[in-house]
């Protein structure tokens, strides 16, 4: 009796997005510095300055840049839009439950962007509506609200400066309905990638990874919304460096 061996090939997953190209569209772009590139953190990883020693060896902390310190509510449509971007980031290759886990991790209280304006909070009477999970609907505090943070390694399209040390940059306008995801995904100055600063040295630099949410996205990057008022915001010039049209870049610094 003959024995036949079946060679079943599993379809390979797409590779995570790591490298990007600055648009050559006549606009001026800058790249947001990582914290070890700025005097604000004494040109060191913020975990080193803070003596933060949780989750070794990297001791990761969000690589955030504060813009106007404003929280913007995410309506049902904008929450659905952000969730769709997460789905696209992993090329729709993951189980929906894992994608939802990433959403929960990214939008929880204590995860930088949604501090104090999340579906979860230490104060059980201060919970915001999460339309993806169907939580706290009808909350008197309204929907989840995202702080207008930027993240190291990403790019921004400048529209000018305010004469007070800030670039005026183009952003999404949450006061308007979101455009189709096909239109925005790929415009990396409007949809950025969450990054973490670490204390792990890589030559003259420090390792900068994707966000913790990648634990649930198989190392695919986690996108975020670059937001402001009327489609604009202010980015401190001390947190930005020039980057040429057509230049290749990555939000991450990896081995």
- Rounded distance, CA 61 to CA 78, Å? 26
Angle between helices 96-107 and 76-89 (to 10 degrees): 120
Query: 0.85 exceeded by the pTM?
Result: yes
Inter-residue contact 210 to 194 (CB < 8 Å) = yes
Backbone angles phi, psi at 166, to 5 degrees: -125, 140
How does 75-112 read in b/e, with b if 16+ C-beta sit within 10 Å?
A: beebbebbbbbbbbbbeeebeeeebebbbbbbbbbebb
pLDDT tens for 197-236 read 999 999 999 999 998 645 656 688 999 999 999 999 999 9
pLDDT tens for 98-147 read 899 899 989 999 888 999 999 997 666 789 999 999 999 999 999 999 99
Give the mean model confidence (pLDDT) for residues 234-245.
97
């Amino acid at each position: 009796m003959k024995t036949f061996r079946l060679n079943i090939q599993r379809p390979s997953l797409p590779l995570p997005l790591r490298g990007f190209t600055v648009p050559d569209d006549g606009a001026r772009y800058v790249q947001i510095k990582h914290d070890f590139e700025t005097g604000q953190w004494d040109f060191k990883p913020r975990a080193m300055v803070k003596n933060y020693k949780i989750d070794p060896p990297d001791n990761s902390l969000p690589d955030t840049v504060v813009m106007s310190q404003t929280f913007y509510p995410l309506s049902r449509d904008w929450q659905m839009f952000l969730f769709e971007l997460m789905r696209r980031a992993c090329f729709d290759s993951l189980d929906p439950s894992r994608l939802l886990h990433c959403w929960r991790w990214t939008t929880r209280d204590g995860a930088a962007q949604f501090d104090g304006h999340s579906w979860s909070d230490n104060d059980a009477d201060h919970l915001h509506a999460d339309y993806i999970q169907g939580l706290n609907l009808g909350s008197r505090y309204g929907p989840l609200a995202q702080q207008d943070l930027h993240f190291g390694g990403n790019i921004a399209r400048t529209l000018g400066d305010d004469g007070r040390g800030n670039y005026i940059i183009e952003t999404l306008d949450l006061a308007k309905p979101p455009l189709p995801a096909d239109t925005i995904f790929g415009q990396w100055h409007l949809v950025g990638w969450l990054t973490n600063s670490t204390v792990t040295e890589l030559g003259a630099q420090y390792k900068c990874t994707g966000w913790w949410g990648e634990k649930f996205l198989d190392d695919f990057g986690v996108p975020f919304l670059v937001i402001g008022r009327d489609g604009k915001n202010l980015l401190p010039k001390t947190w930005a460096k020039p980057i040429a049209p057509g230049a290749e870049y990555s939000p991450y610094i990896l081995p």
